[in-house]
Amino acid sequence: MADASRVLQVSPVIPVVTIADPQHAVPVARALLDGGVGIIELTLRTDSALESLKRIANEVPDILVGAGTVLTPRQADAAVAVGAQFLVSPGVTPGLLDHMLQLNIPVLPGVATVGEVMAVLERGLKAMKFFPAGPAGGPDYLAAIGAPIPEALFCPTGGVSLESAPAYLSLANVSCVGGSWLAPRAAMENDDWEQITNLAGEASKLSGNQVNNASRS
């Protein structure tokens, strides 16, 4: 099933994590889990990202690990080959979407306009990443889309924080938010896994629309 609605039910916040040193991969994943966050979107923005993804998939089976920043079919294939359980792209192109839809795992394509939302729905997917959420219009924008197109479900990401998350999570068409604030680079470099656990703990207590939205999927 390519639709990622169920992936959006795992946690009120999907941590968007960029790891430079693969040795940090397993400790970051465990720290997030210890804080109650059972999902991680690992961005393909570093040379060693696939190695980090592989380590998490192999060594931390309790966390759902997906690849983020998927820009090309080749990246999608490489991520699946090392164990990615879902794929996230910052935007959609017909070629990338066609390819990802053949891979038999949940796909969360990025959208920022009403036309893109309609195009993704046309392909049979209800769940989407709204990116970049803050600059693109924030909660007001998503609330406005919900009037004509209530069936689309969003994970707003990009400029979302612990403080701004509740305004998104109160919307009927938002299942969860995404953000990089849960795994700061400095915390990883200082091996401060407790900080990441604490940030995850705060995030996991945010109340989302997850129960409401679960009944819609």
Which CB atom, from 43 or from 209, has the smaller least distance to ligand 3PG?
Answer: 43
For residue 30, CA distances in Å to 57, 59, 78, 107 come to: 12, 10, 23, 24
Which CB atom, from 90 or from 150, has the smaller least distance to ligand 3PG?
Answer: 90
Find the catalytic residue in 129, 151, 194, 205.
Answer: 129
Least Å distance, CB 211 to ligand 3PG, is 25
Cα–Cα distance, 82 to 27 (Å, whole number): 18
Helix spans in the chain (H)? 25-34, 49-59, 73-81, 94-101, 114-122, 133-136, 138-146, 165-169, 185-189, 193-204, 210-214
Cα–Cα distance, 122 to 120 (Å, whole number): 5
Least Å distance, CB 18 to ligand 3PG, is 8
SS3 179: strand
Asked whether 123 and 102 are in contact (CB, 8 A), the reply is no
Least Å distance, CB 63 to ligand 3PG, is 18
Told to judge if 129 belongs to the known catalytic residues of this protein, a careful annotator would answer yes
Least Å distance, CB 125 to ligand 3PG, is 18
Which CB atom, from 22 or from 90, has the smaller least distance to ligand 3PG?
Answer: 90
Cα–Cα distance, 83 to 77 (Å, whole number): 10
Instruction: List contacts with ligand 3PG (CB under 6 A).
Output: 16, 43, 68-69, 90, 131, 157-160, 178-180
Cα–Cα distance, 44 to 26 (Å, whole number): 16
Told to judge if 122 belongs to the known catalytic residues of this protein, a careful annotator would answer no
Which CB atom, from 12 or from 179, has the smaller least distance to ligand 3PG?
Answer: 179
> Which residues carry out catalysis?
41, 129
